[in-house]
Amino acid sequence: MKKLLFSLILLLGSVTACKAGPLNQASYTDQGAGLPLVLIHAFPADHHLWEPQIKSLSKKFRVITLDLKGFGTASPTQGEAVSMREYAEEVKQLLDQLKIDKAIIGGESMGGYVSLAFVKSYPEKTAGLILADTQAIADTKDQQAKRESTAQDILNNGPTKFVENFVPKAVSPNADQSTKDFLTNLFSKQSANAMASALRGMAIRENTMDQLPNLNIPVLIISGDLDAVIPTSESVSMRNAYPASQLVIIHGAGHLTNIERPAEWNEAVIAEFAK
């Protein structure tokens, strides 16, 4: 049944060249041919986080990435909360713009929250899910307060200190300097308003754990066993909630596994969806 579903989706329109275009003043890339695969970036990044995936996975899929509101060259925010559902609406708009009926929706960290919000609103448009280094539970009151404090500090003092402190948490202690430099440069390009909006939006996100048992699509869960931001136990919890899912634990990797261990990340996606 899964193979038949994928075969039908392959009949959708595809592209062979990388494109960039406006989506409410947002940028996106669209490269490759075949089964559409939408990748949603983590906080506080933009679509450039997916460079290792665009290059590799576009040989197997039609890989689409976008800048969420406020990030990269997307429409700016003013620091107000942007909910995960609002970000998911941007993904829906992009699929409509590209005339794609159904796609695999994948996200890293905050992108996973957006992916879960998307499948809740648009299950008929979701061919599969990739939930990487993310979780389905909501923030506690203490976590919400911490996000608000961080948002206010970024707005008042700029994001430099936050980025300096966050990069070491985003990767494992064994990450090479070039990976840390890449992330520092990428995060530093994002505006304080975008970061505050995303932090406030993540703080009010819904608990989506109860929707996992109701899914009837392929789900790939990826986690780095050295993740200092979202522990692997959260990935195990999602796997237990939806036993039909596949859990891949990347040993020796930290929070952003797609950047730190791209070959293993990409291989997991190919193994699950390129069938």
Helix (H) / strand (E) containing 112: helix 110-121
Give me the sign of the Cα torsion angle 265, 224, 191, 78: positive
* Confidence (pLDDT) at 13: 34
Chain position carrying tokens 């039609």: 62
Residue listed under structure tokens 């979780």: 135
pLDDT of 27 reads: 87
Q: At 108, phi and psi to the nearest 5?
A: -110, 125
Q: List pLDDT tens digits, range 36-74.
A: 999 999 999 999 999 999 999 999 999 999 999 999 999
Nearest in space to 26 (alpha carbons), one of 81, 86, 78, 91: 91
Phi and psi at residue 211, to the nearest 5°: -85, -20
The pLDDT assigned to 262 comes to 98
Task: Choose among 18, 67, 74: nearest CA to 39.
Answer: 67
Taking residues 226-230, what's their average pLDDT? 98
> Residue 8, Cβ neighbours under 10 Å: how many?
13
Summarize pLDDT for 137-154 with one digit per residue, the tens: 999 999 999 999 999 999
Residues 232/244, Cβ–Cβ less than 8 Å: no
Distance CA 45, CA 200 (A): 16
- Please report, for the chain, the start and end positions of each structural domain, with discontinuous segments joined by +: 2-273
pLDDT score for 11: 34
- Mean pLDDT along residues 155-160: 98
pLDDT value at residue 186:
98
pTM, to two decimals: 0.91
pLDDT confidence of residue 33: 96
Residue 218 to residues 38, 54, 193, Cα–Cα distance (Å): 15, 21, 35
What does the alpha-carbon distance between residue 166 and residue 127 come to, in Å, rounded to a whole number? Answer: 33
pLDDT tens-place string over residues 73-125: 999 999 999 999 999 999 999 999 999 999 999 999 999 999 999 999 999 99
Please, what CATH class does the domain formed by 2-273 belong to? alpha beta
